[in-house]
Structure 1
Amino acid sequence: MAALRLLLALLALLLGPMARAEVLDREALSTFVRPPMSVGEPVSDRGVWELLNSGGALAGYVFETEPMAPIPGFSGAPIDLFVAIDLDGRFIDVRIISQNEPIFVSGLGEAPFRAFLEQYRGLSISQPMVVGTPYGDAGGGSALIYLDGVTKATASVRIAHESLLAATREVVREKMEGVASAPPAAPDPAHEEDLTWADLVRQGIATRHLVTNAEIDAAFVGTTWAHDDPEAQADPSGAYLDLWIVDLGPPSIARAALSPETVERLARFLEITPSAEPILLIDAGRHGLVSEDFVRNTAPDLLTATQDGLPVALRDADLTVGLAEGVPQGTAMILRTDRRLGFDPSRPWTLEVEALREHGSFQPEIGRTTLTAGHSTPERFFLREDATAQPASPVVEALRSRATDLAILGGLLIALLILVGPLMHRVARRGWLTPVRLTVLAVVLGFVGWWGQGQLSIVTVLGLVQAGTEGRSLAFLLYDPFSLMVWGVAILGFVLWGRGLFCGWLCPFGALQEFAHHAGRLLRLPQWEPNAAWDRRLKWVKYLLLAGLVATVLIAPREVETAAEVEPFKTAITVLFVRDWFYVVYAGFWLVLGLFLFKGFCRYVCPLGAVMALGGLLRGRDWIERRAECGSPCHLCKVRCRYGAIKASGRIDYSECFQCLDCVQIIDDAKQCVPRILAARAPIRAPRKEAA
């Protein structure tokens, strides 16, 4: 019944309405404001309030980021930050309101995240900021402000950074710069024009910005670096920067500027990141766009951009660039920015290019000057959404952001269902089963677990219980569509096979334990198994732990996260052992024990396994074939079953079956199945008796 209620709850979640986050009121927001400042009057219906100084005068604005920039975090849920800025657009304070990032909830803890946010104090929204570190010596004096990220949490802090800047830009535009925040413009996919590169140039869609060696030399006249570029002085009329800028968002423009192969790559990229605006840069001069230390897929170290005096976040799209016929040759790269972060491709913007010179050979002094290039793309290529249109929900954004992962996962799950379903008897053949099984488990561990963070957890089940007892929405599950897809297939497995599909094939930590067992066998370590009586007793431990966790939800809900640490999943899978030492020791204990005891945690301790066993009561059939001789006199399957899931009578205990298919291999094999061997010998014996 517990599994049936879980299934019904998930179905209701998929069909039910989404819960929307509410903005904080004055009282709640005031708890984040440091005295003597205080919260004044609201200035918008999306959580923006006046910030008053000790004398009651307007000193800036305070707001939360989620209502204006609900960008899903790595967990699928937006990171909500409190932000206070002064009237010049400088950050006074940035603090956490709520976040559900696994790495910060119980992995590294919130302290590194809070330390990261402290870096914003005193910085201005007008300064270009990126998460990362400068490469080589290009960071000294650069226009870019580098914010130190958090090891093992780069994705989470980068999303927090983008949410913070997007929300702050909107406030600055509307309340401080006097620039109304128009509905975002996006490329019109239906707009078609037959364009060539010559058309782009003639219509100003591709813009050129030429800086000669003489001009760059003039920029350094009178400085320490005036004579540090002999190539410029030898060829004054040569091109230092011969820059072409093209917005590739509109498909007609992309086809005119790029080779067909690159157009296809760009289209696939935009399917994954639909809010990205790709910008093509080509430099036929000496500058080269980036420094020698530049790393692909990061913010370009010599390029920044602004629009309306506010910075535009640029990042390398990491695409190989092939150009169309007639396009000038040179250093070509495609950058991307995000329209969700305030960039409007239909309006003018400015690219800023840093020119560097070095003086001295040992720890040279870096001199720099900034070259600017304006660009705009005709508005006919874009559509502007209705100002009253609602932004995509965080769930929709979560689906979009993980579209590729979800597609791959869907394919893998379908393949797995086919392997253990229609092809089960072929997979179970001798010589096939072990290689196929270990390959699947390796994919589950690497892709589903470490990459996709699809390790199911008892925390989800306890969250359902807690939401049910408190009358809260179940929408939190939709923020993680990757795990939800795994849950869906696991529940389908309840009906078809019992608990075995998830516990035997889809659990990343279970896969890790199975690999530990194989390592122990290869190392010829002694294998220990409890006797039948202790095996039966130990299997009840997981049910007792499950009952204790449910009781914790009802009696001490604040302690649920701590109690759920009985699972080592977060340590071993979510944060890959980057955690406090005692968590690492605990997870390591189970893996070391797995060298000697076959999957001890899965069989005896896992509370999620207890839930899966209860869910397996929905199983509609006995899918493992049995013969009359199974259990009497033959006990081969029982002896070979490492899970202890076969009774002395030969009956399968499906609540303990992990669907390893070992017994299926035995019963299908005429050379292993004892009843089949005896049946094959019987016709031979009979004639011999008659002859006697």
Structure 2
Amino acid sequence: MRLIIALFAFFIGLALQGPTFVHAEPLPREEIEKFVTPPYALGEPLNENGVWSLLNSGGAEAGYVFETEPLAPLPGFSGAPLNIMVMLDLEGRFIDIKLISHNEPIFVSGLGEAPLRAFLEQYQGLSINTPMVVGVPYGHDAGGTGVTYLDGVLKATASVRIAHESIMAATLAVAREKMQGIQASPPARPNRDYSEDMTWQQLLEEGIARHLVVTNAELEAAFAGAIWAHDDPEAAADPEGLYLDLWLVDIGAPSVAKAVLDDEALADLERFLTVTPDAEPLLLIERARHGLVSEDFVRNTAPDLLGAIQDGLPIELRDADMIFDTLPEVPEGVAMILRVDRRLGFDPTREWDLQVKAVRAHGMFQPELGYETFALTYAAPERFYLRDEIAKPRPAWVDALYNRQGDMIALAIFLPLLFLLLGPGMNRLADNPRYTAIRLVILAAVLGFIGWWGQGQLSIVTPLAVLRTVIDGGAFAYLLYDPFSLLIWVATIIGFVLWGRGLFCGWLCPFGAMQEFTHHLGRLLRLPKWEPSAKWDERLKMLKYALLAGLVAAVFLTPDRIDKLVEVEPFKTAITTFFVRNWYCVVYAAFWLVLGMLTFKGFCRYVCPLGALMSIGGLLRGPDWIKRRKECGSPCQLCKVRCNYGAIKPSGDIVYSECFQCLDCVSIYNDPKTCVPLVLKSRGKELHIPKAKEVRQ
């Protein structure tokens, strides 16, 4: 168990190492332009990493267009990055996301690209300020935490998580460079339960009530040199007089509202906030001649002479349409309450600017309007507000582990039991009179739980992806996106040390289990057995090594064709998609299963490139774990004759590189009624052993 934990920790540590990205060249304009659909058009390039300006139908800048691969070349499950086109508006919302290219095996010829494209459609309209998690049905919210859950793709969880990570990594890189001011934390909201006795004087002393004064002289100076410089006779006649005498108080906090509004106004405000709980009310009082709004202003709309900015982005102000009275100590004047929607990212506790427009008209007929802006900076005290803890999605690998916790627990129980059964309990298992039935039950669990349910069929795709990652200098984080398979890999590697390739090929391979069932079906149907001769058996076993060498060479020579070449494995058809694929893929997988009725595990023994890799991994094996007697092989050939894998030499030696750990020879070795030397010994006889025979322990 300690070894399992240590190896699993090693893989996690390896995968979490910082990636060394190999940046791909961005697509040329004519290629990326194909993915931008009307009413939008591609603008000019903004940098060398493939970020383009996005234009609307009027030619104005509407956002950004970029590819994910040059900005965030996260390796996919095939080892190659996915490349996805992202259209982002100026406020950080996704306009469109389209797939450009990928090499994910499950989408190349398994499920097809339609599920991946449907997954990408979920991003439209979402903001990068909204935490997103791949895992549960799209649109569901975890109890108001603000997290949006994207519906994943069944049997392709690892690939869509990688796609999501690529999209977010590239998008945030663009936002940091091009979109300063996008909020990184949730806005504060008034603490309705916090109470503090306040007075107008205290509001002044703490800066909660802010004051902006503009004299007529300052107004004249603002328009000096413009055509409107002499268009305000009143300002020129009284330079010391006030043009603007403005008070601003954020009354979202109940304690502050009580310090400025009378009881009736407070009750009205409470009713208003009950209906619009996300509104932040702002009290404005103007005592000079500006007047806050123009004569054309319509109640319950945006004030035409007032504006606001926070983090360089505009804030929408709207009239709350309230008639109210203030307390006696509050300055009197033209008063109104405006509202700001906090859901749009406004944070009352961070500095923002109220902008007040001074408008002048020049000319009698069709006058030309001009304006100057005066700003008042404001920030509400933090103590009156609550700030939800930012809802940060867990790292993708943690989320993947969490979403499969039930399967991981079951697998973590199953694997140690299997190790105990094949290790300390091996002889007891092999000697059980119902051994074949027990083995078939275990293989049925492997096929059903590990294969069809858990999608834990190991494939040559993973080792080739690791090799490609090493070549490209990328990161290994994609291994963690499928923790179920990773745990099986860990168990398989431990099995190399203890038994060789047999643990996986004989006990943990779902397709191998399927072939074994078809072989038993062939025996029940009394079909003839067809096995190649010993000479051809040796020759055919070399084919899988040749296929493995070819796939490794393809990683270097034709990496873009790897996803097609690995189809030599029928695993994706028979296990991953349960035969829902193109007809020729189904025929290919069915061929090996039908052949298995006649030839015992023909694919595993002769063709499987993963089996070839497992044989090489089996070189890590420690001592020989299958006992032999001096009579084995000479003259007794019983084990060799009954070995369906051809893994026993005429000399009686075990060829561990071909041994699938079926334990048939162990059963024979332990059975005094079957093992020829033991049978003869019980009768007081001995086999004649040639003198040249080497005695083996």
Determine which of 13, 32, 36 is the counterpart of 2:41: 36
Aligned amino acid, residue 414 of structure 1: P
What is the SS of the residue equivalent to 2:431? Answer: coil
- Alignment partner, residue 536 of structure 1: 538
Q: In the alignment, is the contact (CA less than 8 A) between 2:77 and 2:479 conserved in 1?
A: no
User: C-alpha displacement at 1:397, in angstroms?
Assistant: 3.0
Gap runs ≥5 in structure 1: 1-6, 135-146, 186-306, 311-341, 345-377, 685-692
Q: In the alignment, is the contact (CA less than 8 A) between 1:499 and 1:655 conserved in 2?
A: yes
CA 1:409–1:153 in structure 2 vs 1: closer, same or farther (change >3 Å)?
closer
Aligned amino acid, residue 402 of structure 1: R
For 1:159 and 1:478, the matched residues in 2 are separated by 10
CA 1:577–1:527 in structure 2 vs 1: closer, same or farther (change >3 Å)?
same
- Alignment partner, residue 622 of structure 1: 624
- Alignment partner, residue 460 of structure 2: 458
- Alignment partner, residue 568 of structure 1: 570
- Aligned length in residues: 473
Q: In the alignment, is the contact (CA less than 8 A) between 1:40 and 1:52 conserved in 2?
A: no
User: C-alpha displacement at 1:510, in angstroms?
Assistant: 0.6
CA 1:391–1:28 in structure 2 vs 1: closer, same or farther (change >3 Å)?
farther
- Alignment partner, residue 320 of structure 1: none
User: C-alpha displacement at 1:179, in angstroms?
Assistant: 8.0
CA 1:23–1:94 in structure 2 vs 1: closer, same or farther (change >3 Å)?
farther
Determine which of 404, 407, 410 is the counterpart of 1:405: 407
Deviates more, 1:93-102 or 1:10-19: 10-19
What is the SS of the residue equivalent to 1:466? Answer: helix
- Alignment partner, residue 681 of structure 1: 683
Determine which of 177, 185, 200 is the counterpart of 1:182: 185
Q: In the alignment, is the contact (CA less than 8 A) between 2:42 and 2:52 conserved in 1?
A: no
User: C-alpha displacement at 1:380, in angstroms?
Assistant: 8.0
Determine which of 435, 438, 453 is the counterpart of 2:437: 435
For the pair 1:104 / 2:107, whether they are aligned, the reply is yes
- Alignment partner, residue 362 of structure 1: none
Aligned amino acid, residue 591 of structure 1: L
Deviates more, 1:663-672 or 1:478-487: 478-487
CA 1:454–1:97 in structure 2 vs 1: closer, same or farther (change >3 Å)?
same
For 2:672 and 2:597, the matched residues in 1 are separated by 32
Deviates more, 1:643-652 or 1:106-115: 106-115
1:632-665, Cα deviation, whole Å (9 max, x unpaired): 2221111111111111111111111100001111
- Alignment partner, residue 529 of structure 2: 527
User: C-alpha displacement at 1:585, in angstroms?
Assistant: 0.8
CA 1:586–1:635 in structure 2 vs 1: closer, same or farther (change >3 Å)?
same
User: C-alpha displacement at 1:309, in angstroms?
Assistant: 5.9
- Alignment partner, residue 95 of structure 1: 98
CA 1:592–1:308 in structure 2 vs 1: closer, same or farther (change >3 Å)?
farther
CA 1:393–1:68 in structure 2 vs 1: closer, same or farther (change >3 Å)?
farther
For 2:81 and 2:551, the matched residues in 1 are separated by 28
What is the SS of the residue equivalent to 2:656? Answer: coil
CA 1:148–1:457 in structure 2 vs 1: closer, same or farther (change >3 Å)?
closer
User: C-alpha displacement at 1:11, in angstroms?
Assistant: 5.6
Deviates more, 1:543-552 or 1:158-167: 158-167
1:540-572, Cα deviation, whole Å (9 max, x unpaired): 111111122222222222222222111111111
For 1:495 and 1:615, the matched residues in 2 are separated by 9
User: C-alpha displacement at 1:420, in angstroms?
Assistant: 0.3
For 1:23 and 1:29, the matched residues in 2 are separated by 18
Aligned amino acid, residue 525 of structure 1: L
Aligned amino acid, residue 96 of structure 1: L
Q: In the alignment, is the contact (CA less than 8 A) between 1:571 and 1:578 conserved in 2?
A: yes
What is the SS of the residue equivalent to 2:658? Answer: coil
What is the SS of the residue equivalent to 2:98? Answer: strand
- Alignment partner, residue 62 of structure 2: 59
The CA RMSD measured in Å over matched residues stands at 5.1
For 2:113 and 2:394, the matched residues in 1 are separated by 28
Written as runs of structure 1 = structure 2, the 5 A alignment for 1:534-683 is: 534-682=536-684
1:267-292, Cα deviation, whole Å (9 max, x unpaired): xxxxxxxxxxxxxxxxxxxxxxxxxx
Q: In the alignment, is the contact (CA less than 8 A) between 1:107 and 1:571 conserved in 2?
A: yes
Q: In the alignment, is the contact (CA less than 8 A) between 2:42 and 2:65 conserved in 1?
A: no
Written as runs of structure 1 = structure 2, the 5 A alignment for 1:198-209 is: none
User: C-alpha displacement at 1:458, in angstroms?
Assistant: 1.4
CA 1:435–1:459 in structure 2 vs 1: closer, same or farther (change >3 Å)?
same
User: C-alpha displacement at 1:480, in angstroms?
Assistant: 2.5
User: C-alpha displacement at 1:485, in angstroms?
Assistant: 1.6
User: C-alpha displacement at 1:592, in angstroms?
Assistant: 0.9
User: C-alpha displacement at 1:394, in angstroms?
Assistant: 2.9
For 1:168 and 1:645, the matched residues in 2 are separated by 55
- Alignment partner, residue 421 of structure 1: 423
Q: In the alignment, is the contact (CA less than 8 A) between 2:76 and 2:478 conserved in 1?
A: no
Written as runs of structure 1 = structure 2, the 5 A alignment for 1:93-242 is: 93-96=96-99, 102-111=105-114, 113-114=116-117, 117=120, 180-182=183-185
For 1:525 and 1:500, the matched residues in 2 are separated by 27
Aligned amino acid, residue 518 of structure 2: A
CA 1:98–1:478 in structure 2 vs 1: closer, same or farther (change >3 Å)?
farther
CA 1:469–1:133 in structure 2 vs 1: closer, same or farther (change >3 Å)?
closer
Written as runs of structure 1 = structure 2, the 5 A alignment for 1:324-339 is: none
User: C-alpha displacement at 1:114, in angstroms?
Assistant: 3.2
Q: In the alignment, is the contact (CA less than 8 A) between 2:8 and 2:490 conserved in 1?
A: no
Aligned amino acid, residue 437 of structure 2: P
CA 1:577–1:21 in structure 2 vs 1: closer, same or farther (change >3 Å)?
farther
Aligned amino acid, residue 526 of structure 1: P
Q: In the alignment, is the contact (CA less than 8 A) between 1:543 and 1:607 conserved in 2?
A: yes
Q: In the alignment, is the contact (CA less than 8 A) between 2:74 and 2:81 conserved in 1?
A: yes
What is the SS of the residue equivalent to 2:657? Answer: coil
What is the SS of the residue equivalent to 1:37? Answer: strand
Q: In the alignment, is the contact (CA less than 8 A) between 1:82 and 1:94 conserved in 2?
A: yes
Q: In the alignment, is the contact (CA less than 8 A) between 2:626 and 2:666 conserved in 1?
A: yes
Deviates more, 1:150-159 or 1:508-517: 150-159
For 1:591 and 1:381, the matched residues in 2 are separated by 60
Q: In the alignment, is the contact (CA less than 8 A) between 1:538 and 1:604 conserved in 2?
A: yes
CA 1:184–1:79 in structure 2 vs 1: closer, same or farther (change >3 Å)?
farther
- Alignment partner, residue 17 of structure 2: 18
Q: In the alignment, is the contact (CA less than 8 A) between 1:23 and 1:47 conserved in 2?
A: no
Aligned amino acid, residue 41 of structure 2: P
For 1:442 and 1:545, the matched residues in 2 are separated by 29
User: C-alpha displacement at 1:391, in angstroms?
Assistant: 6.5
What is the SS of the residue equivalent to 2:480? Answer: helix
Q: In the alignment, is the contact (CA less than 8 A) between 1:552 and 1:560 conserved in 2?
A: yes
Q: In the alignment, is the contact (CA less than 8 A) between 1:71 and 1:394 conserved in 2?
A: no
Determine which of 74, 84, 87 is the counterpart of 1:84: 87
For 2:75 and 2:103, the matched residues in 1 are separated by 10
Q: Percent identity?
A: 60
State the structure with more CA Rg. Answer: 2
CA 1:640–1:587 in structure 2 vs 1: closer, same or farther (change >3 Å)?
same
CA 1:606–1:93 in structure 2 vs 1: closer, same or farther (change >3 Å)?
same
Aligned amino acid, residue 498 of structure 2: L
Q: In the alignment, is the contact (CA less than 8 A) between 2:75 and 2:469 conserved in 1?
A: no
Gap runs ≥5 in structure 2: 1-5, 140-149, 189-340, 348-383, 687-697
What is the SS of the residue equivalent to 2:97? Answer: strand
User: C-alpha displacement at 1:115, in angstroms?
Assistant: 6.1
For 1:308 and 1:574, the matched residues in 2 are separated by 46
User: C-alpha displacement at 1:178, in angstroms?
Assistant: 8.8
Q: In the alignment, is the contact (CA less than 8 A) between 1:76 and 1:480 conserved in 2?
A: no
What is the SS of the residue equivalent to 1:38? Answer: strand
Q: In the alignment, is the contact (CA less than 8 A) between 1:170 and 1:181 conserved in 2?
A: no
1:419-450, Cα deviation, whole Å (9 max, x unpaired): 10000011112423212211211121122122
What is the SS of the residue equivalent to 1:180? Answer: coil
For 1:566 and 1:25, the matched residues in 2 are separated by 29
For 2:68 and 2:461, the matched residues in 1 are separated by 27
